[in-house]
A and B are shown apart, each in its own frame.
Chain A
Amino acid sequence: MTSEAQAVTRTVAEVPLARRFGVLWWGALLASGALVLLLGYTLVSVTLVGVGVWGINIPFVWGFDLINYAWWIGIANGASLFAAILVLRRHDLRTAVNRFAEGVAFFAVICAGIFPIIHLGRPWLFYWVFPYPATFEVWPQFRSTLTWDFWAISTHAIVTSLLWYVGLIPDLATLRDRARSRNVKRLYGVFALGWRGSVRDWAYHQRAYRLVAILVLPLILIMQSTVAFEFAVTLVPDWHETRQPLHFVATGLAQGLSIVLLVAVLLRWGLRLGPYIDEGDIDLLGRLVLASALVSAYLYVDEIVAALLADGIAQEATFNRLTGDYAGLYWTAIVYSILIPQLLWLKAARRSTLACVFVGFSIGVGIWFDRFSIIVGGLQTDYLPSIWRTYSPTLAETGLFLGTIGLFAALLLLFVRFLPVVSMFETRHDEHEEKSS
């Protein structure tokens, strides 16, 4: 039977069904597992001791917690926006990257969601932001930005995971039908929910899938704008800007795309998925990353122009970011997220795995520095010079950050091991259309 199977099913479905997986995968899983342990340790320590283990203090009531939240949510939003647009455009690229772009988005939301909960100080009371009939008869304050986070993160997590899962159902059915052992067959069978590929089922499935992809577009714009509004509604001089949402949406997209590119080249190389994530796909992704880096560049220029037009204190606050104690962060962000991606003008760079990994990684790092610069640099020169201080993260915060990276990597590795990373039914559909056209 295997010999007659469609090539895509054979190549993609055999990855999760393989009995053994390489040493590289195990090594990566062990390394990320160690970081997950570190995450557990830092979470327990901050829960037991309190947020005093972090380097935050007035005026830096936010530090790594908000930086990393904004960073992860940017990855999530960029990746989901990208996946949704590909579905809507019915672009050929969707078959190659959609499945894991949605996965990347979902895992990044999980990592992002940890921060707002843990930075509450009493994280076990996080449900207070949810309106439930408490005996105190106090309702959450909806004029506070904290409740926005609750709805935004939970919605993003639910919608992304549903979209991802519904897209997976037909492919889980393929795994069910190809599994060799009875138990594996049962396991995939339960998750495939009894999918049998009826033409009627397909028609509804496609309609619903596309519709939810459409819904993801406004969701992402609202999500990133909400994150940005959380800054903009404060009175901190450097944050109180109407340009914030645009900055967050655009740089978030660059960051999401760069992580998708990074994961795409790693999967292509690691799982030998060359025929399905082909050179053309990577090339196109590279161009998109470059374009989004150029948009980010435009917004950095816009920031400076806006500062020139701003009133005295806001202007001083912005220029303090460019030249003050934290100027290094700002310029690192420029180098990593704007200058290094210019490498992708070269065709050779877009075709090279190493160059793509380098650029994808550097944009991720660059935007992280950008968020650091906005949050810490913004708080540094407030209206009251007597509280001007500097901030540096403690080991507990760094451990938390590294821990979420480990969690993300571990989730991604498990996904690669047990689920098809390329959408098989979309690829079959594409191949059929190519043949008949």
Chain B
Amino acid sequence: MTQRPYGLMAEFRTPDDLMHAVRAARRAGFTRIDAFSPFPLPDLANELGIRTSIIPWIAFVAALIGAGLQYGSQYWMNAVDYPLNVGGRPLNSWPTFIPSTLIVAILWAGAATLLGLLAILRLPRLHHPVFSVHGFERVTNDRFFLCVLGEDPLFDGEATRDFLQGLSPQAVREVPA
């Protein structure tokens, strides 16, 4: 038995064509599909059931950790470990601890969100099977692609190709593993 390809890729000219194709593929029972476009398509993301609500949670939890650490460390350093009496001012001078606490909370939230984003998307990744598809470079310009992955339970070389051809794409190409 020959090795299964990574998938089959159909190329479309407009986002609407891609939307129709994704709907048809889902109706046909394919579950392991991926769509590619040159700009965000929120409707299509909804259609594919992509939920991104983890992102705000990452930010929120990171902000709490950052704020807690910053306030706690300021308190410990200036009030417990090395108390320094400056003009009789309180050691736990919370108003002066607030600026860096808030700023560090934002630093943690922002950095965790953006680094978390890269982790969720599994980037950086210098190579991916789809890059070897002829003409795929136009995905960052003006073309839209639907890929049915080889690991899909319904994937069957010829039948899947026929199905994709039936969606009247510009071209259907195999994505080598």
Selected interface stretch from B23-31, B119-127, B151-159, B160-168 = B119-127
Task: Tell me whether A366 is interfacial, beta carbon within 8 Å.
Answer: no
Bound CA–CA A4/B170 (angstroms):
14
Task: Tell me whether A223 is interfacial, beta carbon within 8 Å.
Answer: yes
Are B78 and A204 in contact, with the CB atoms below 8 A?
A: no
Mask, A279-315, CB within 8 Å of B = 1, is 0000000000000000000000000000000000000
In chain B, what residue has the closest Cβ to A194?
B125
Are A159 and B107 in contact, with the CB atoms below 8 A?
A: yes
With A193-B124, A204-B55 already in contact, the answer to whether A178 and B73 are too (CB < 8 A) is no
Are B39 and A425 in contact, with the CB atoms below 8 A?
A: yes
Are B50 and A222 in contact, with the CB atoms below 8 A?
A: no
Minimum distance in angstroms from B45 CB to a CB of chain A? 4
Are A197 and B37 in contact, with the CB atoms below 8 A?
A: yes
- Which one, B99, B102, B107, B116, contacts A208 given CB within 8 A? B116
Residues of B within 8 A of A155 (CB): 103-104, 106-107
- Which one, A1, A178, A200, A207, contacts B48 given CB within 8 A? A200
Residues of B within 8 A of A194 (CB): 123-128
Selected interface stretch from A44-52, A116-124, A162-170, A337-345 = A162-170
Are A189 and B126 in contact, with the CB atoms below 8 A?
A: yes
* Interface size range of chain A in the complex: 35 or more
Mask, B106-146, CB within 8 Å of A = 1, is 11011101111110110111111011000011111110000
- Which one, A148, A174, A199, A225, contacts B140 given CB within 8 A? A174
- Which one, B37, B96, B111, contacts A202 given CB within 8 A? B37
Are B142 and A206 in contact, with the CB atoms below 8 A?
A: no
Interface residue ranges, A against B (CB under 8 Å): 1, 4-6, 9, 131, 137-143, 147-148, 151-152, 154-155, 158-159, 162-163, 166, 169-170, 173-174, 176-178, 189-190, 193-208, 211-212, 215-216, 218-219, 222-223, 225-226, 229, 233, 425-426, 428-429, 432, 436
Bound CA–CA A196/B130 (angstroms):
8
Residues of A within 8 A of B102 (CB): 218, 222
Interface residue ranges, B against A (CB under 8 Å): 15-16, 34-42, 44-45, 48, 50, 52, 55-56, 59, 70, 73-74, 77-78, 81-82, 84, 86, 89, 93, 96-97, 99-100, 102-104, 106-107, 109-111, 113-118, 120-121, 123-128, 130-131, 136-142
With A173-B140, A193-B125, A425-B40 already in contact, the answer to whether A151 and B104 are too (CB < 8 A) is yes
Minimum distance in angstroms from B165 CB to a CB of chain A? 22
Residues of B within 8 A of A152 (CB): 99-100, 103
Minimum distance in angstroms from A118 CB to a CB of chain B? 21
Minimum distance in angstroms from B151 CB to a CB of chain A? 16
Are A196 and B110 in contact, with the CB atoms below 8 A?
A: no
Are A166 and B120 in contact, with the CB atoms below 8 A?
A: no
Bound CA–CA A197/B52 (angstroms):
16
With A4-B142, A141-B84, A202-B45 already in contact, the answer to whether A148 and B100 are too (CB < 8 A) is yes
Are B114 and A218 in contact, with the CB atoms below 8 A?
A: no
Residues of B within 8 A of A211 (CB): 55-56, 59, 113
- Would you list 15 pairs from A and B whose C-beta atoms are within 8 A, ordered by A residue? A5-B142, A140-B77, A141-B84, A142-B97, A154-B107, A163-B110, A166-B117, A177-B137, A177-B141, A189-B126, A197-B139, A202-B39, A211-B59, A215-B59, A215-B106
Bound CA–CA A207/B16 (angstroms):
22
Are A219 and B103 in contact, with the CB atoms below 8 A?
A: yes
Are B106 and A204 in contact, with the CB atoms below 8 A?
A: no
Are B99 and A229 in contact, with the CB atoms below 8 A?
A: yes
Are A215 and B37 in contact, with the CB atoms below 8 A?
A: no
With A151-B100, A207-B55 already in contact, the answer to whether A202 and B40 are too (CB < 8 A) is yes
Residues of B within 8 A of A197 (CB): 36-38, 139-140
